[in-house]
Amino acid sequence: MRVLCNICTNSIDDKIFCMQPVLRIVGGGLAGSEAAWQAAERGIHVQLYEMRPAKQTEAHHTEFLGELVCSNSLGSKLKSNGTGLLYQEMELLNSIICRVADRTCVPAGAALAVDRQLFARELTNTLSNHPNIEIIRQEISVIPSGLTIIATGPLTSSSLAKSLQAFHGESNLFFFDAIAPLIAEDSIDHSLTFRGSRYGKGNSPNGDYLNCPMTREQYYRFVEELVKAKQIPLKSFEGEIQTGVDAGPGHFFEGCLPVEEIARRGLNALAFGPLRPVGLRKMVEGTPPYAVVQLRQDNLHNTIYNMVGFQTNLIFPEQQRIFRLIPGLEKAEFVHYGQMHRNTFLFAPTLINQRLQARNRKDLFFAGQLIGIEGYLGNAASGLVAGINAARFLHNEQLVEFPTSTMVGALCHYVSHADRDFFQPMKANFGILAPIIPKIREKQERKAALAERSINEMKMFKGLL
Ligand SMILES: Cc1cc2nc3c(=O)[nH]c(=O)nc-3n(C[C@H](O)[C@H](O)[C@H](O)COP(=O)(O)OP(=O)(O)OC[C@H]3O[C@@H](n4cnc5c(N)ncnc54)[C@H](O)[C@@H]3O)c2cc1C
């Protein structure tokens, strides 16, 4: 079928081969959306291919670009945190993900959390209305020819994954990730919970989180039930890609462990982990809680809360039975149960250079979780780099490497240089920044110095773009 390209009105073949110089971006998630915006803002004609809603992934539910599949938090806003620093760098670079997140945020202490529906809808509208962006709802099954960015994320469709595998000549890595449950606000017993943010951080005078305090007895009973609860067999989520390295049941990404897996690591593992009662004790009268489950507002209407750190693979009736043991959640209505999903990424260091350009095909770029970046903002940041460099490629300008003293640059450096034996998805953190020499011993002082250097360098670097 031959149709006209919506932007340049040239004749195109199956909407894949437009005759104008065009940048094709495959995947309209966090990375693909940011890449499209950055390139379009530089005058590039962008065709953004997204397979939803015709073909959904195991975790997405809507047709919106940039849908957040699990937590509604994009991470900390504070410069003293790796994600917070990344956020500030990205704001300097005109990030559309940061801009839309700011417009749709909900109260969440020091974190940048958004109303997920509003966020994704607003992002979709903004990109749809950009004169240089054409959104094409179509699954891409083979790597397109011509200037392309692949940003199809951890749930890349199986046909494209096979094409990527053939191109890369390496096995896909393969592991599992998990989603936390969502609860209806009006089903929470507020007489048993209290409001508060750890260490008083946040915007609301009373604290941004709903906290469910547990006594020692309640906590032990909860853990006892949790560790023996029935789980969904992982086999049913393995998907169609069987050729890659299947890390197998029991192999999880440490940053997103299911709550039952943490519980199995020790009776007090949760009380020292996501349920730690620290920073909240002053807000409770009488005996301090032994553990605290935190609930974070998930939408602007304040009707839905998510269970912080409660990614899980329990079968749904077990989630209902066991999570209702938590004080305040005895009658909890689950708007969405926790789930586990396939999560695919490529071994990036042999695939791409620091400009996120394929090592063996100069007009092909990669971005997002597919290349082993973790976290919503980190993935958007990689889209930003790929979008800028793809635009420069088309303008015949020299491609840029962001300095490794910035969080954006450090992430790109990690995914293009990490050691084969230790390659795991990496989120923004101070450990990947080029160190300051001589080393500052005090941790907070060191972080402050690294953050200041990073922002200053990004301001200077921005002048070169
Ligand atoms: C179950 C689960 C839970 C997660 N929870 C969190 C969390 O709480 N916090 C966090 O920071 N990160 C989380 N992640 C990681 C999260 O996916 C990334 O942080 C982020 O969404 C990745 O951005 P991306 O743009 O690379 O991929 P995505 O946001 O997934 O976007 C990729 C897009 O490509 C589309 N696509 C796929 N294949 C094709 C194709 N062949 N043709 C056209 N379109 C295609 C998909 O439909 C999708 O819209 C989770 C991941 C999973 C799988």
CATH number at residue 55: 3.50.50.60
pLDDT band at 101 (very low <50, low <70, confident <90, very high): very high
* Residue 375 belongs to domain spanning: 18-170+346-462
Among 322, 342, 362, which residue terminates a domain? 342
Q: Does 166 have pLDDT greater than 80?
A: yes
Least confident of 59-63, 86-90, 424-428: 424-428
Specify the higher pLDDT residue, 127 or 11. Answer: 127
* Claim to verify: residue 233 and residue 331 sit in the same structural domain: yes
Is there a binding annotation on residue 384? Answer: no
Is there a binding annotation on residue 30? Answer: yes
pLDDT band at 345 (very low <50, low <70, confident <90, very high): confident
Residue 279 lies in a domain: yes
* Claim to verify: residue 399 and residue 411 sit in the same structural domain: yes
* Claim to verify: residue 253 and residue 362 sit in the same structural domain: no
* Ligand 1 centre distance from Cα of residue 155 (Å): 6
Is there a binding annotation on residue 377? Answer: no
Q: For residue 274, give every residue at least 6 positions away whose Cβ sits within 8 Å of its Cβ, in sequence order, or none.
A: 259, 262, 294, 308, 309, 310
Question: Does ligand 1 have an atom closer than 6 angstroms to the CB of 59?
Answer: yes
* Claim to verify: residue 332 and residue 368 sit in the same structural domain: no
Q: Does 241 have pLDDT greater than 50?
A: no
Residue 229 lies in a domain: yes
* Ligand 1 centre distance from Cα of residue 289 (Å): 36
Q: Mean pLDDT for the chain? A: 88
pLDDT band at 242 (very low <50, low <70, confident <90, very high): very low
* Claim to verify: residue 163 and residue 237 sit in the same structural domain: no
Question: Phi, psi (5° rounding) for residue 148?
Answer: -145, 145
Q: Does 180 have pLDDT greater than 80?
A: yes
* Ligand 1 centre distance from Cα of residue 60 (Å): 8
Is there a binding annotation on residue 410? Answer: no
- Ligand 1 atom having least distance to the Cα of 49: 43
* Claim to verify: residue 364 and residue 252 sit in the same structural domain: no
* Claim to verify: residue 337 and residue 353 sit in the same structural domain: no
Mean pLDDT score, 375-399:
97
Specify the higher pLDDT residue, 11 or 121. Answer: 121
Question: Does ligand 1 have an atom closer than 6 angstroms to the CB of 298?
Answer: no
Among 342, 357, 389, which residue terminates a domain? 342
- Ligand 1 atom having least distance to the Cα of 427: 11
Specify the higher pLDDT residue, 439 or 7. Answer: 439
Question: Does ligand 1 have an atom closer than 6 angstroms to the CB of 368?
Answer: yes
Question: Does ligand 1 have an atom closer than 6 angstroms to the CB of 312?
Answer: no
What pLDDT is recorded for position 20? Answer: 66
Residue 320 lies in a domain: yes
Residue 30 lies in a domain: yes
Q: Does 253 have pLDDT greater than 50?
A: yes
* Ligand 1 centre distance from Cα of residue 256 (Å): 14
Mean pLDDT score, 315-327:
95
Residue 178 lies in a domain: no
Is there a binding annotation on residue 358? Answer: no
Distance of CA 380 to the CA centre of its chain: 8
Among 310, 342, 374, which residue terminates a domain? 342
What pLDDT is recorded for position 5? Answer: 52
* Claim to verify: residue 332 and residue 370 sit in the same structural domain: no
Specify the higher pLDDT residue, 187 or 19. Answer: 187
pLDDT band at 70 (very low <50, low <70, confident <90, very high): confident
Nearest CA to ligand 1 atom 10: 375
- Ligand 1 atom having least distance to the Cα of 68: 21
Task: Give the Cα separation of 358 and 53 in Å (integer).
Answer: 29
What pLDDT is recorded for position 200? Answer: 78
* Ligand 1 centre distance from Cα of residue 30 (Å): 7
Q: For residue 30, give every residue at least 6 positions away whose Cβ sits within 8 Å of its Cβ, in sequence order, or none.
A: 66, 97, 368, 376, 377, 379, 380, 383
- Ligand 1 atom having least distance to the Cα of 369: 26
Question: Does ligand 1 have an atom closer than 6 angstroms to the CB of 70?
Answer: yes
Question: Does ligand 1 have an atom closer than 6 angstroms to the CB of 328?
Answer: no
Q: Does 431 have pLDDT greater than 90?
A: no
Least confident of 4-13, 121-130, 176-185, 192-201: 4-13
Mean pLDDT score, 175-179:
68
Q: For residue 441, give every residue at least 6 positions away whose Cβ sits within 8 Å of its Cβ, in sequence order, or none.
A: none
pLDDT band at 240 (very low <50, low <70, confident <90, very high): very low
Task: Give the Cα separation of 30 and 87 in Å (integer).
Answer: 14
In DSSP terms, 46 is beta-bridged to 23, 133
Q: Does 251 have pLDDT greater than 80?
A: no
* Claim to verify: residue 124 and residue 219 sit in the same structural domain: no
Residue 448 lies in a domain: yes
* Claim to verify: residue 307 and residue 284 sit in the same structural domain: yes
What pLDDT is recorded for position 9? Answer: 54
Amino acid in position 257 = L
- Ligand 1 atom having least distance to the Cα of 66: 29
Residue 117 lies in a domain: yes
- Give the chain's domain count: 2
Question: Does ligand 1 have an atom closer than 6 angstroms to the CB of 30?
Answer: yes
Task: Give the Cα separation of 3 and 11 in Å (integer).
Answer: 6
The pLDDT tens digits of the residues spanning 31-54 come to 999 999 999 999 999 999 999 999
What pLDDT is recorded for position 221? Answer: 97
Specify the higher pLDDT residue, 208 or 9. Answer: 208
Residue 5 lies in a domain: no
Q: Does 15 have pLDDT greater than 60?
A: no
Mean pLDDT score, 295-319:
89
Least confident of 332-341, 405-414, 447-456: 332-341
Q: Does 247 have pLDDT greater than 80?
A: no
* Claim to verify: residue 260 and residue 144 sit in the same structural domain: no
Is there a binding annotation on residue 32? Answer: yes
In DSSP terms, 267 is beta-bridged to none
Pick from 30, 74, 159 the residue to mutate for probing ligand 1's pocket: most ligand atoms within 8 Å of its CB. 30
* Claim to verify: residue 303 and residue 226 sit in the same structural domain: yes
